[in-house]
Structures are given as C-alpha cells and as structure tokens.
Amino acid sequence: MGFFRWIGRILIGALAGIGLLVIAAVLLAGSVWRDLSNRIEPVPEQTLLTLDLSDGVNESNDADPFALAGFTRGITMPDLVLGLEAASHDARIKGLALKLGTGDLPLARAQEIRDALTAFRAQGKFILAFAESFGEAGNGNSHYLLATGADEIWLQPSGDVGLTGLRLETPFFRDALDWIGVSVQMDRRKEYKGAIDSLTSNSMPAPQRENLQQLVNSMSTALAQAVAARIGGDEEAARALIDQGPFLAADALKAKLVDRLAYRDEFETELDRRAAGAKRYALADYAAMVKPPKDAPQIALIHGLGPIQLAADGSPFGDVVMDAQTVSEALRSAREDPAVKAILFRIDSPGGSYVAADTIWREVARAREEGKPVVVSMSGVAASGGYFVAAPAAVIVAEPTTITGSIGVFGGKFVLSELWTKLGVTFDGVQAGANADMDSANRDYSFAGWNHLQASLDTIYQDFVTKVGAGRKLGADAVEQVAKGQVWSGADAAQNGLVDKLGGLSVAIAEARRAAGLAPDTPIQLVPFPQAPHDLTSFLEQFAKAAETRQFALLGRIGRIAAGFERLLDANSSVQAQMAPVIPASR
C-alpha cells in the first residue's frame, strides 16, 4: 500500500509541475495579449461611457488570477465609484449607457452603485439603462433598485420586472442529521446567534424569526424608497406596488416602472441620437485613466474580504478569504508608512475565526492608538468577526442594506459515532492525556470538555462586547442591547451606534480626508495595501507557493481522493469557536 502511495505522489508531483508550466504559459500569453490589445486610447472630447454589469463588479481583482492575466473584464467597486465621480466633473463626458439585469448583485452593492449614479446625474449627465429582463438571470430586486438611478429604464418587450419584495430563508437539518446518525454538540452566546439553529432545530426559533423579520423589513424600506422615487409616489404606494409584482413588460410600463419597451438595437439607436457625435468608452478604461497628482496625499486602501481565517491556503484558485496574516501585515505597513495619511478598510465578510479576527482587530486598534485614522467602509456583509475587526475604527460607514452586527459566538462539534455504527465502521486507538480526545468526532464531550467549551464561549463573548463598547464608546448595557447575536441592517445599525455614517466608498473617502485633516476637495491617491509586484509575477509567486505546499489545489484533490479512505479513518469534525453568522439566502 505504501509503494502505491509513493508512486501516486510522484505522479501527482509530475502533473503539478506540468500544470504549473501550462497555466503559467497561458497566463503569460494572456498578460501579453492584454498589454498589446488593451492599450487604452485617450478619452475622446465627446464621450459616452458604457458599463455592462454582466461583466461583473468585484471588490478587488487581487484574488482573481484570470483578472491578473487580463482574461476577465469586471470592474472593481473603487474604480466604478471613483470613475463615475471623476466623470461627473469631466466636460468631455456626456452620459452613461448602463446594461444590467444579469449577474450576481447583492442589495448593498446595488445601493452603493445607485448612489454613484445619482451623484453622476446631479452634475447634468444623463444615464440610460437597458435590461432584457429583471430577474431571469439575476436578482430582480437588486438590479431594479440599481436601475432606478438612471434617467430612463428600457426593457425588452419579452422581459419582465421581477420586483417581488425580499425574503430571507435558511434550511434546517435536524431531522436529516438524526436520520444519518450525526449528533450536534454545540452552544452559543447568545439567543439570537442563529448559526446552530439550522443544525439543532426543525424550524426558525422565535428570537431568530424576530431578528430576521426586523432585518428584512429594514432592507425592504430601501427598495420601497427607490421605487417611490421612480414612480413619483410615497413609500406606502411603492410597497403596495411591490406587492403586485412580478410584472410582465406591458404591466411594468403601465405602472411607470420602466419608460420604454424596446430591443437592444433600438436602445443603441437612441443612445446615438442622445449623444450625437460622442464615442463609446468603457467606464473601466476611463477609471484607469483617472490619475491624481503624484504629490497628492495618500490614503491606504485595504480589503478584508470573505471568511476570516488565520492564513490563506496558498492557492491562487482558492476561495477569497480574509486571512489575518495578509491583512494584519497590510495594516501594519500602512500604519508605519509616513506617506499614508489615513487607512480605508473595506470589509465584506460574514466572520470566521475568533483568533484570526482578534489578530486583525489588534492592528486596527494600534493604528488608532498611534494617530493613523482608520475608516471602515462596509460592503454587503460585515457581520460577527467582520464587525469585530471594524469596531476600533475611527469611523464606520455602511450602506442602509449592509448586513452587520451579529455580536456573538458559537462553537462545538459534530459527533459521528452513530453514523459509523450504521456504516459498519469502528474506531479504536490510544492516547496520552486526559483530554486528548476532546475534539474527537467519534465520542461525546466529557464533562470537562463541555465545561471547557462553555468557558471558551463566555470568554470570547465577553471580549467581543468589551471591545465593541470601547471602540464605539458605548456602555456595557448599551452594547448588550445590540449584541446577543442580533443581525442588523446598516440603517438600523446607524440608529443603535454600531455604524457612524450611511453611504459607500465616496462617503468613506470623505471621512478619511476629514480624519486626516485634509480639505474636502483635496485630491488624494488611493493606494492599495499590500502593494503587490507585477500582476503576473504576483500570480506565479502565489502559484509556486501553492505547488510547494499543496502540489496545486486541483491536483491535490486527486491525491485526496486516492487517499480518501485513509483520511476518512482520521476524520475530525470539531467546530472551533466561530464568530460567523449564518446569513440566509435572499431574493
């Protein structure tokens, strides 16, 4: 058996080496192709900007190897927001053609883009929006909310407007786990921390139902306000209209939800008429041309995206995570850089490891203590550990629909002993140390093990609320009122002291200027930290590191399949103390 495993490892290593060379060659070709074919032409004197949301909108392209090599075309949120802000004051820019209706678009991100569109129009620019349909290939509610920031909304005659209101729901696995023989031994702090309810209940407990109903009510207010502004009615009328959705194209036109039913070619003809003589120019290219003065003050931009963990897995193809090592080093570097006047920390995270979150928290707190202001800009989600790392910031900015809060913790493990019995699998072994088997998935917690879990949850929860209180300048009672695992919308969080300002990146940058003692109209350089080398070089370094440590994630999976039975015998399903909430699916 050992011989075959040895041969397998040799083959996997060889395949990994070949894979590295092939992918490196492909990405090198992509990089060269991008440099040769994507040379940005100067901005014409008469320009119509274009933005196609089906190309994708990312918080950052740093974690996307295909974006690094030039194969993907998505625009980042900073480029989109700052590009529109610059274009709004550029006499060469006549307007914007917006294509939407397809692609993933969280409600908070839609709201932030809509804010940028509204500011663009306020400077006398026009926006025409076109969608084949709202809801067939993307979230109809969020895409339509974004569309309301345009002067006119055009819809294909065969399309519809999937304006249906919002729903949050989560699956419950109690019966399924009982059926397969999996026991859940977990606990939480406190009653609104709903993560374990999905595992221990058959339906939504009263505290979680109360909290999520409040959340969806608050988020639906933003949708109703956007619709009200669109149809020229009040919020009550907008809610009544939403209750009639979804809408066929003719009904949407009659309800004034759209301005015209037409096909894409007819929309293009109208654009040519409206912006006569103007040339089309992608917003992403325009944003790349916007360069502040080289001597402008610097504000560091640091992203904290995805679940929080101590370190990334080393693979450039892995999931996006907020790894404590990278983010902490970025915060430290920005804090120590005398050219950096303030730090803008952009967060989109549901939480994760308490230890990793605490590591990042320390660097945010140190920056504030040493006089380097940190302004947090929350995107779609900044909950649990995602809020923990934001707590010491000088200013916290969120969109009204940002999911935030969830100040609480849960932990424990799954016990699989009954499942193994059903499968005819037995375990045996030896140990040294009374608690060496505490996290074993093959036996219940001992009395000492359960007490250790309880002490850990108490300690983490107390640390969480204490640090939130200190960072937000709230007393213990005030923090407890908004804690207990409750999830808040950004709008509600602004009312209870967890958020300072409502808005997106533009508002956060304005707050960073103010915190740094700069005038509101001072040009600034938004400098990403960590500062990476050349795009392709950065990717290849990540890839090489992954190959050394894991022999490339995809090929590593082949090896894991080959050794699957051996790993099964070593199964350990312990769940360490986590700060992550369960964010239900939304419509």
> CB-based contacts of 536: which residues, under 8 Å, 6+ apart?
27, 28, 31, 68, 69
Q: For residue 352, is it left (φ>0), alpha (ψ between -120 and 50) or beta?
A: left
The torsion of the CA quartet 121, 125, 128, 129, rounded to 10 degrees, works out to -40
DSSP-derived pairing of the beta strands 93-99 and 57-58: unpaired
DSSP-derived pairing of the beta strands 501-502 and 395-398: parallel
For 233, the 3-state DSSP assignment is: coil
The answer to whether 107 and 145 have CB atoms below 8 angstroms apart is yes
Type of residue numbered 17: G
Residue 430 burial (CB count, 10 A): 5
CA distance 415 to 446: 12
For 168, the 3-state DSSP assignment is: strand
DSSP-derived pairing of the beta strands 308-309 and 374-383: unpaired
Terminal C-alpha separation, the chain: 51
Q: Which of 94, 99, 193, 413 is catalytic?
A: 193
Question: Is 193 a catalytic site residue?
Answer: yes
DSSP assignment of 47-73: EEEEEEGGG-EES-STT-HHHHTT---
**Angle 553-562/2-37 helices, nearest 10 degrees?**
160
DSSP-derived pairing of the beta strands 403-405 and 525-528: unpaired
Type of residue numbered 402: T
Q: Which of 384, 440, 489, 506 is catalytic?
A: 384
H or E stretch covering 202: none
Q: Give me 574's structure tokens.
A: 């312990």
Question: Is 54 a catalytic site residue?
Answer: no
CA distance 435 to 423: 27
CA distance 264 to 98: 12
CA distance 211 to 201: 17
CA distance 523 to 293: 7
CA distance 279 to 544: 43
CA distance 325 to 344: 18
Q: Give me 112's structure tokens.
A: 């932030």
What ranges make up the beta strands (E) of 162-286?
168-169, 183-189, 247-248, 260-261, 279-282
Which amino acids are annotated catalytic? 193, 384
